[in-house]
Amino acid sequence: MGEAARLNQDLGADVIDINMGCPAKKVVGTLAGSAIMRDEDLATRILRAVKAAVSIPVTLKMRTGRDHANRNAPRLARIAEDVGIAMITVHGRTRDQAFQGRADRKFIYNVKKSVQVPVIANGDIESAADARDMLRQSGADGVMIGRAVYGRPWLIGAVSSALRGLPGAGRAPTRAERHDIVQVHYAAMLAHYGSELGCRIARKHLGWYLTREGIDDEVRRDLMRDDSPRRVQDRLTRIYDDLERCAA
């Protein structure tokens, strides 16, 4: 982990965020992700090794614990702070919960009151109201939003503006603006990953965008299977034009 952190620092990373949150079987099965939380010695050694290896900030992302009876996030947070970890994000579920139930906003408060470093609260935030409620119940210094941003990348800016009381914060993008965002996002992925890989990586994003527009499953799947970026771009234009016409 220390070596990997150093390599990434050399490649220009600004921050190393250690992931002790992932509940996926293939990750937990190799004792990685949230499995690390149950072995506090191992967790401490990893935190120390990474912290010693780099000069950029090291942060930690974790769950509340392994299961309801072993919610050791507050203790691990203290260990992390002692090691010099700069910020801690807590997803308010245990590993055993995976994505079931609701994130426990109040439990995150136990982490917040255990440390001085900033604590970021995460789990099930879909709106500014959710973010406010999470901040109130957890006492956290900030929030992290995950799944709600799928196909809706403007949500982070909208929630952030609303929390800061900026004017126009509640305004959702129009369909024409959403079309622009999809096309810009798609072009950026092709430019970044190259056309072949970009086209493949973009599929899930296009799926999320179109699901949120209420596009027919068949049309959506068909578009996601298309391996010609040019055709995908034209089809997106047609889909959004049709939506505009239907709404008119």
Closest separation in Å from C-beta 104 to ligand FMN: 12
**79-118 positions binding ligand FMN, by CB under 6 A:** 91
How many residues contact ligand FMN, by CB under 6 A? 13
Say how far apart CA 3 and CA 20 lie, in whole Å.
Answer: 18
| Beta-carbon count within 10 A of 20 CB | 23
Nearer to ligand FMN (CB atom), residue 175 or residue 185: 185
Cα distances (angstroms) measured from residue 47 to each of 38, 77, 109, 218:
14, 11, 22, 47
Determine contact, residues 174/186, Cβ cutoff 8 Å. Answer: no
Q: Which of 28, 36, 111, 145 binds ligand FMN (CB under 6 A)?
A: 145
Binding mask 147-186 for ligand FMN (x = CB under 6 A): xx--------------------------------------
Q: Which of 124, 135, 199, 206 binds ligand FMN (CB under 6 A)?
A: 124
> 3-state DSSP call for residue 228?
coil
Look up 246 and say whether it is catalytic. no
Q: Is 19 in the site for ligand FMN (CB under 6 A)?
A: yes
- Which helix (DSSP H) or strand (DSSP E) does residue 19 occupy? strand 16-20
Q: Is 76 in the site for ligand FMN (CB under 6 A)?
A: no
Q: Which of 67, 129, 146, 227 binds ligand FMN (CB under 6 A)?
A: 146
> 3-state DSSP call for residue 173?
coil
What values do phi and psi take at 93, rounded to 5? Answer: -130, 160
Binding region for ligand FMN (CB under 6 A) out of 15-23, 47-55, 131-139, 159-167: 15-23
Nearer to ligand FMN (CB atom), residue 122 or residue 138: 122
Nearer to ligand FMN (CB atom), residue 21 or residue 74: 21
Q: Which of 122, 130, 215, 243 binds ligand FMN (CB under 6 A)?
A: 122
Nearer to ligand FMN (CB atom), residue 125 or residue 199: 125
Residue 173's closest CA among 150, 151, 154? 154
Nearer to ligand FMN (CB atom), residue 19 or residue 195: 19
In the set 13, 22, 117, 201, the catalytic residue is 22
Say how far apart CA 29 and CA 155 lie, in whole Å.
Answer: 34
For 181, how many CA atoms within 13 A lie in the half-sphere containing its CB? Answer: 18
> What is the residue-wise DSSP string for 64-110?
EESSGGG--HHHHHHHHHHHT--EEEEEEEETTTTT-S---HHHHHH
Q: Is 37 in the site for ligand FMN (CB under 6 A)?
A: no
Q: Which residues are catalytic?
A: 22
Contact residues for ligand FMN (CB under 6 A)?
Answer: 19, 21-22, 61, 91, 122-125, 145-148
